Amino acid sequence: MPLGFRKNLRESRNAATEQRAVATGGATDRSVVLGEVEELGIGMFWATDAEGNLSFLSSRALADLGAGAEELIGKPLVRVFNDIEEEVGAPTQRSLAFKLKARSKLDEQIVAVTDARESTRWWRLNGRPLLDAEGNFRGYRGSAVDISAQYAYETQVARQSQVDELTGLANRRKLGERLTAMLAAFRVSRRSCALMMLDLDRFKQVNDTMGHPAGDELLKQVAQRLLSIVKDAGEVGRLGGDEFQVLLPDMDDRGTLGELANRIVQSISQPYQINGRRAIIGTSVGIAIAPYDGLEADELTRSADMALYSAKETRGGTFCFFTSELRDAASKTAMLGDRLRDAVDKDELKLAYQPLVDPVTNEVKCFEALLRWHDEEAGDISPAQFIPVAENDDLIIRIGEAALRRACMDALAWPDTIRVAVNVSAKQFIRPGYRKAVAAALAASGLPPQRLELEITESVFVGDLETVDAIFRDLKKLGVRLALDDFGTGYSSLGYLKHGHFNKIKIDQSFVRGCTENGDINPAIITAIVALAKALGMETVAEGVEAMDELALVEERGADLVQGYIYSKPITQEQVLAQFADGSGVFRPSGPPRHRAERITIFRKVGLIHEDHYYDVILRNLSKTGARITGLAGVPVGTDVVLDLGHGQLVVSKVANATENSQGLKFETPLISDGSGGFMTRHRISPYSLAEAGIPLAALGAGAFPLAKWREANKTVPKFVQLELSVPNA
């Protein structure tokens, strides 16, 4: 063999040996590098077989999980690595099982892993599916990084940005995001949702008298009560301060919502134990429903806010649904407040007196002083309108003290046996120095204290009960009488009565109205209240009696006194004096023989649908079961019609009676209470349904959804005669 050939062969063999050595040494080097990467904490490595079972975990990963981690080998990967829980701050990602089944790449997939100490750690996975030369799936190969500290910190920061720190409820930011996202999704799927806005009545008083730590504890307890009532039906959040919100998806049944709101009011109004002391607060609730009351988050929120304001104006401790009329009412209220301040400055508010009569002898025993306001421009303005306006301002203090002084002066001119009752607002009652104001009114008039009754509603018990009890004791020392007004309607608790402060309980008119109807449970309630009062040595008054059958029932059930139109409307001081000048303190009952279903006198333009025609009519009065309308002629009794009350409220009706130009309608399904003295349908026709009928949403009215007029094409001949309409001043 030539020397040169042998030399080349030797060099070739040496090169091959070197290549094998490099190859062997290279493999060793890669293992070292991988181990060093793990030791530096840069990453860990894992692999699965083609069936998705874990086939490899690198030594650092095994050490990280602790003793017994080797047993994880052979288990399905989805049982070793768990998807993270859906919580505030957690990233949104497809599930691990979904990606493995689809053989997708794993990019920054965050999973939860349980270590030997049963603690949860969070890893970030990256992985790729491995295919052999023939394209067969061999499993996954991937890396992992422990991000537990970073993940815990980031989720905590995210949680703090979306969760109320004090109560653990969703905060304003999260609620806003949830509402916006829900409304956007529901517009596509044409679903509804309800929004409740709440704030607490007299919470500030608890803060002021018991301290801010007590106020914080109270807010926590309120949050727990809300969660226990709402449960899985919706999401409860705290907006800040004493304001809460409840978001209720797929709810538009106003009967169900009213029942839920009433349960919330009653639950929040029960006493609280805070650091060994008792406190009572209340709440008011405003309710708006999408898509009827708003299609966007800010619009629906404004609607719920207006409903809340209306609930607080009504009397507090109640709920109110949004209606389109509330928009106008809000601006009117602001104007009314300005006029009311002027009226107080000019001493334009007067007192009228309604008798409280013994139903056995018909003799008057007491007169209740009631405020009246006649405005030169607007005429007579109802106390139901101006008292809530005054309550939202310290104006009620001035009005209340002036009324107290005037009533004491007027009563001095009556017979010595007749008492005068004066209403006291909660603001007035808890104001420092109220006892002095009462004593000053008695001293200035010379009226004996036992002839003055102070009528107090249950709302005065909201707040720190120890402070309230002290005020009661001071008033009792003066010798005045105390009456609990509207018993059973507000923040009800028999605990109010056990301290013996009251001389009289007034049974609210809501228990008297309709008490003679078949199946009504109010007679049993009246009997129970009378029995309780007698056991405690208290007098009872049945309020709001208007019909002879109601009078007979409350007399039979043992009420000591009766107040209502059955005896007299409120009368002036001159009329009271004239009554006594005749030598008579007797008021004879006079009224309809039977109670009629409660109805509201109202003059408003609405619509009436018959066949394919839409008529304009005037709604004159409205009750739960029927209505009186005018504006049409030639409508036979027995005709089936649909009354359009606006805002998607369609009421299937039948003409029960008719005159030349008016008709009485009987409803197929009774209306329900709207929580503030009015009536409404339980359900509404969705604007989406109206749009499907060819009526564009933009044409449905500003914020309301009245049924649009029928198109003129392809109509039959109208059956009724449309008369010219005129809406008189209400």
Burial of 164 (0-12, 13-18, 19+ CB in 10 A): buried
The secondary structure element, H or E, covering residue 454 is: strand 452-457
pTM (2 d.p.): 0.58
Alpha-carbon gap, residue 381 to 388, rounded angstroms: 12
Alpha-carbon gap, residue 265 to 271, rounded angstroms: 12
The alpha-helical segments, DSSP class H, found in 202-347 are 203-210, 212-230, 254-268, 297-314, 325-345
Place of tokens 């025609």: 613
pLDDT of 703 reads: 38
pLDDT of 38 reads: 67
- Tell me the CATH number for domain 349-581: 3.20.20.450
pLDDT of 519 reads: 65
Q: Do the Cβ atoms of 663 and 632 come closer than 8 Å?
A: yes
User: Buried b vs exposed e over 333-347: b needs ≥16 C-beta within 10 Å?
Assistant: beebeebbeebbeee
pLDDT of 402 reads: 94
Burial of 22 (0-12, 13-18, 19+ CB in 10 A): exposed
- Tell me the CATH number for domain 599-722: 2.40.10
pLDDT of 243 reads: 94
Distances in Å between the Cα of 210 and the Cα atoms of 218, 269, 365, 498 are 11, 18, 41, 23
pLDDT of 52 reads: 93
The secondary structure element, H or E, covering residue 243 is: strand 243-249
The alpha-helical segments, DSSP class H, found in 323-394 are 325-345, 383-391
* Residues facing 662 on adjacent strands: 630
pLDDT of 23 reads: 38
User: Buried b vs exposed e over 423-460: b needs ≥16 C-beta within 10 Å?
Assistant: bbbbbbbbbeebbebbbebbeebebebebbbbbbbbbb
CA 70 to chain centroid: 55
Whose CA is closest to 629, among 640, 617, 637? Answer: 617
Dihedral sign, CA of 267, 269, 274, 277? negative
Domain residue spans in the chain? 41-155, 163-323, 349-581, 599-722
Low-confidence stretches of the chain (pLDDT beneath 50)? 1-28, 491-492, 694-714, 729-730
Q: Which CATH superfamily is domain 163-323 in?
A: Reverse transcriptase/Diguanylate cyclase domain (3.30.70.270)
- Tell me the CATH number for domain 41-155: 3.30.450.20
User: Buried b vs exposed e over 59-82: b needs ≥16 C-beta within 10 Å?
Assistant: ebbbebbeeebeebeeeebbebbe
pLDDT of 329 reads: 66
pLDDT of 66 reads: 85
Two structure tokens written together for 43 = 């990453």
pLDDT of 389 reads: 83
pLDDT of 449 reads: 96
